[in-house]
């Protein structure tokens, strides 16, 4: 399967109505494949870029670093996301974008995306909707950082990642791969590593979740969602996955 068809088309189908012709046009986009090692910057703050990056496998994150060296992670991305889609309009990065783990990426020239948007209005609308959803996720993170407790923030992030990965077929029910170290979680949640460790232990002792290395298992989705005050509506999926039941093994990828 074409890499774009397997990732980007699947992602856009979650949030917009596309025709078969739209999907074929997306799959025909010119791409340059690239592997990036964990921890390496894909794009640095202040860099001028001329293409958009499609995440094919792995995890990435966006971040800002303060003068004294403190880092704030402002977003995580899963396969199918285009983390720098906004660069079509703002082509000088105001933050950095890095590989959280080893990643496979596809780079699509801006010119090709602009031409496709001109020729396929439904695709242009879908990409615009994708950027709006990105903003919706930012707003939810701001609320969490400003008003939720450390326990609630952590629970909310675990719920969000579970729903996003399940929607894209990258989890088998409420078990999913979450290759985020406690340092990375701390920088995303605005907490210390000590606090992250403590809240994860609290969630485990309450039998809400269990984490074994990079494998996260949610034992009690309703309770975890209540604790986090999680409502996946801000992800704006056309048909959100049912998180209250397990997927059948044959449904998982």
Q: Give the angle 140-145-146 at the CA atoms, nearest 5°.
A: 95
Residues of the chain scoring pLDDT < 70: 1, 245-253
For residues 29 and 113, is the Cβ–Cβ distance under 8 A? Answer: yes
Q: Which of 47, 163, 37, 159 is nearest to 100 (CA)?
A: 37
Report DSSP letters for 55-70, one per residue. EEES-EEEEEE-TTS-
Instruction: In whole angstroms, give the CA distance from residue 8 to residue 113.
Output: 13
152-184 residue pLDDT tens = 999 999 999 999 999 999 987 799 999 999 999
Q: Which of 40, 123, 43, 41 is nearest to 84 (CA)?
A: 43
- List the structure tokens of 244: 């209250």
* Model pLDDT, residue 15: 96
* Model pLDDT, residue 24: 94
* Model pLDDT, residue 246: 53
* Model pLDDT, residue 251: 37
Percentage of residues in the chain with pLDDT exceeding 70?
Answer: 96
* Model pLDDT, residue 92: 93
């Amino acid at each position: 399967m074409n890499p774009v068809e397997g990732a980007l088309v699947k992602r856009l189908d979650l949030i917009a109505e596309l025709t078969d012709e739209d999907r074929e046009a997306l799959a025909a986009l010119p791409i340059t494949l690239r592997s990036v090692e964990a921890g390496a910057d894909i794009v640095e703050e202040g860099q001028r870029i001329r293409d958009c990056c499609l995440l094919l496998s792995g995890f990435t994150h966006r971040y800002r670093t303060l003068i004294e060296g403190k880092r704030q992670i402002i977003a995580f991305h899963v396969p199918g996301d285009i983390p720098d889609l906004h660069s079509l309009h703002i082509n000088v990065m105001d933050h950095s974008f890095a590989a959280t783990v080893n990643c496979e990426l596809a780079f699509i020239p801006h010119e090709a995306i602009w031409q496709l948007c001109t020729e396929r209005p439904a695709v242009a609308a879908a990409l615009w909707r994708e950027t709006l959803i990105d903003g919706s996720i930012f707003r939810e993170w701001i609320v969490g950082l400003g008003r939720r407790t450390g326990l609630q923030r952590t629970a909310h992030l675990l719920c969000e990642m579970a729903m996003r990965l399940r929607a894209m077929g990258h989890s088998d029910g409420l078990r999913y791969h979450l290759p985020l170290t406690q340092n990375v979680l701390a920088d995303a949640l605005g907490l210390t590593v000590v606090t992250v460790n403590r809240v994860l232990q609290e969630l485990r002792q309450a039998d809400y979740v269990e984490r074994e290395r990079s494998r996260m298992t949610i034992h009690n989705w309703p309770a975890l969602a209540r604790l986090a005050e999680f409502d996946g509506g801000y992800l704006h999926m056309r048909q959100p996955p049912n998180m209250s039941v397990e997927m059948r093994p044959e449904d998982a990828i």
